[in-house]
Structure formats: C-alpha cells, structure tokens
C-alpha cells in the first residue's frame, strides 16, 4: 500500500499517511460533533462538539501511530528493521527490510500492535474516570470514554484472523510452526479473503437497509483485506525466491575464457564476434586473474588494440564479484551492487564453475513474477 502524505520519521522510521486515514479522521470528527456527543451531552454549543470531535479524532490518529510503533519496537529487539510505516483506514502497514525467520518472533511482533491498542483503551478509560472524579465537563468524560472504546475496537479488530491484519499474522505464525512460511501464508490469506467476503457482504446488506455510511465502511474494510492480503502473499513468494533460490540453478556453467596474452584486436574479432559473449574470465596459467568485457574494450583507443593485451584491459579479480554456487539470488545481487558490476564469477573449491549476470537474476525474478501473477489468479478463482 502506497502512502500519499509523508509525515516524517518517527523513532527513525518514515511514516506515511494513506488517503483512507484522512477519511477516517474526518468521519470520526464529524460523527462525534454532529451525532454522538450531542446525544450523550445535549445542551453544549456546536463549537464545543466540534472542538471535542477534532481533538478525539487526532488522538485516535496518534493511537494508530502508537499501534504501529509497537510493532517497530518488538521488531528491532529481534533484529528486524522496519523500512516504513503507512497508516490506513483502521491501522497501518509496516514494511520490513527483512522478514522474521522464526514463527515465535512473528507471533510476538504481531501481538505487539493489538496489545498497544488494548493498553491505550485501558489508559483512556482510566483517564476518563479520573477526569470524571475531578468534576470535569461530561463532554470530555464521554469523549475519553469513546476514545477508550475505539482503541479497544481497534485492538480486537486487528486480532481477527484475517491476513494481513495482526490476527492473520498470528494465525500464520501458528501454522508456520506446523509447516513452512509460504504454505502458512497461503492458508492465512485464504482465511483473510473469507473474512473480506463476509465484510463486503455485510456492508452490502447495510447499504440496502439504508445505512449507506456504515455499509460503505464495511465494504472498504473487506476490499482492503482482500487486496492487501494478496499483495502480501505475492511479496512473501518473491521474498522467499530471492532469499532461498541459489545461483547454482541460474548460472551458466559452460564458461568461455580468454588467455591474458591475447591482444584486444584478436580478442574482439576472433572471440567476441564469434562467441557472442559480452564478458570473459581472463586466464593466466590456468588461473583466473580478472574479467574483460565490452565496457573494458571501450576504454582502449582503437589505435592501441593491437598493442594492448586482454590482461592489460581487464578488470582485476579483486574488482569482480566472486560468489559460490550456494549464494542466494538476493546475496548475489547485493554483491554485484557493492562492486557496481553486472556479472559475477562462481567458484567452488577455488575452481571456476560458472558465471551469472545481473540480467540472469532479473530475468529469473521476472519469470517468478509471472508465476506469482498466475498464483494470484489461481487464488482468485
């Protein structure tokens, strides 16, 4: 889910505001000012109702941030970094730079948000009691009680086993202990889609019964759970592919090499044009000394092609990414990015066994994307 309004960094994490939060705050403020508070406390001025409504709506907005930051605190305690937080209709979405690698960690991380909301509900209720005893106007007592109630609703709602809500992640963590993360995610998404269908159906019934606002609210919730759940599933599949698929399955094993003593002119006409490769490992006495590519040749003046050897024009081995066959796609891409390279040499037991290019990895990810789309289509049908 993309944020539309950046809110800066909170505890070092970029926080963004989805348009649905603005809608929520406006609906809460107007509902309190025009309906809820006038019924609970008749006789107050219109301005007083709106002041209380706006303050409570903003306090609810801060409660959403606190809910998500609770996830952040627990995530950091388990070395899981949070890239960003996007606040949405009744909660938020935290983006992690890495996924929890243990179901117990995900369980604790998922429960942190609802626990914060339930705790805030108790806090606001206690504050309402104190304010009431102190003799404050009843409009503020009722405002605090409503704020306590909505935080309790937020906590309970997020505990529903509807992925990607926190309760759905709790369900995934529990199932993950019995199987694997991908299978658990697929099952949790199916359960979440069932909840989404129920919410949409209930919303439609409310609309036809005359409750347009409430019905629209439930349909929006169902829509979000369905869309976000499938997006999370696709992200899990991509994450698992990049972090568990190894280079051995993608590399080219029949590697053409070139001796370092060959001139650039001979290399270009007798090797590059004949074998249609754009890069070759450079050899000296059976050992790899570097890599020569078309990029290297462009740096050699044309009138020096005959006098310059491949060894002179090549990139030394210390400037070439070196990986082993068990390196994951993600690690291989990171190593290439570190050296600003477009390919890596694959060694096993100090012997050259293959070569893999950035294009190979991107193509594998793109093919996997098509499989993910097919998977999402299959989930839909």
Looking at the annotation, which residues are catalytic? 68
3-state SS class at 178: coil
3-state SS class at 217: helix
Find residue 351's DSSP bridge partners: 348
Q: What are phi and psi of 288, to 5 degrees?
A: -80, 130
* Under 8 Å between Cβ of 21 and 87: yes
Q: Quick count: other Cβ atoms within 10 Å of Cβ 225?
A: 26
DSSP-derived letter for residue 270 is I
Q: Are strands 82-88 and 13-17 parallel, antiparallel or unpaired?
A: parallel
DSSP-derived letter for residue 301 is -
Question: Which residue do the tokens 């698992």 mark?
Answer: 240
* Under 8 Å between Cβ of 296 and 320: no
Structure tokens at 176: 């993950």
Find residue 84's DSSP bridge partners: 95
> CA 81, CA 75: separation in Å to the nearest integer?
7
Taking only Cα atoms into account, the Rg of the chain, rounded to an integer number of angstroms, comes to 29
Find residue 322's DSSP bridge partners: 345
Question: Which residue do the tokens 């003046």 mark?
Answer: 301
> CA 60, CA 335: separation in Å to the nearest integer?
44
């Amino acid at each position: 889910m993309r944020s539309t309004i950046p809110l800066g960094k909170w505890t070092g994490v970029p926080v963004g505001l989805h348009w649905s939060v603005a809608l929520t705050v406006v609906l809460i403020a107007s509902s309190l000012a025009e309906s809820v508070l006038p019924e609970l406390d008749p006789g107050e001025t219109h301005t007083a109702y709106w002041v209380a409504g706006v303050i409570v709506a903003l306090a609810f907005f801060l409660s959403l941030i606190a809910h998500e930051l609770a996830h952040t605190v627990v995530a950091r305690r388990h070395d899981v970094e949070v890239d960003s937080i996007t606040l949405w209709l009744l909660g938020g979405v935290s983006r992690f730079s890495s996924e929890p690698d243990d179901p117990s960690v995900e369980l604790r991380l998922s429960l942190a948000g609802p626990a914060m909301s339930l705790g805030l509900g108790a806090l606001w209720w206690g504050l309402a009691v104190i304010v009431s005893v102190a003799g404050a106007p009843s409009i503020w007592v009722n405002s605090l009680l409503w704020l306590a109630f909505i935080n309790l609703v937020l906590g309970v709602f997020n505990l529903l086993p509807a992925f990607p809500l926190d309760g759905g992640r709790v369900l995934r963590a529990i199932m993950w202990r019995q199987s694997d993360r991908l299978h658990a995610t697929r099952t949790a998404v199916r359960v979440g889609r069932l909840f989404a269908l129920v919410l949409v159906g209930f919303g439609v019934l409310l609309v036809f019964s005359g409750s347009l606002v409430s019905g629209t609210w439930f349909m929006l919730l169902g829509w979000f759970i369905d869309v976000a759940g499938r997006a999370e599933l696709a992200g899990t599949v991509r994450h698992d592919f990049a972090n568990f698929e190894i280079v051995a399955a993608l590399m080219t094993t029949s590697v053409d090499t070139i001796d370092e003593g060959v001139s650039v002119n001979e290399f270009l006409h007798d090797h590059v044009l004949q074998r249609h490769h754009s890069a070759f490992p450079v050899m000296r006495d059976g050992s790899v000394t570097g890599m020569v590519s078309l990029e290297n040749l462009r740096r050699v003046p044309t009138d020096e092609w005959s006098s310059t050897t491949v060894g002179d024009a090549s990139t030394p081995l210390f400037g070439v990414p070196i990986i082993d066959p068990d390196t994951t796609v993600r690690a291989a891409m990171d190593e290439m990015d570190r050296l600003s390279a477009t390919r890596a040499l694959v060694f096993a037991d100090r012997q050259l066994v293959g070569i893999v290019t950035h294009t190979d990895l991107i193509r594998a990810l793109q093919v996997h994307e098509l499989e993910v789309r097919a998977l999402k289509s299959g989930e839909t049908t």
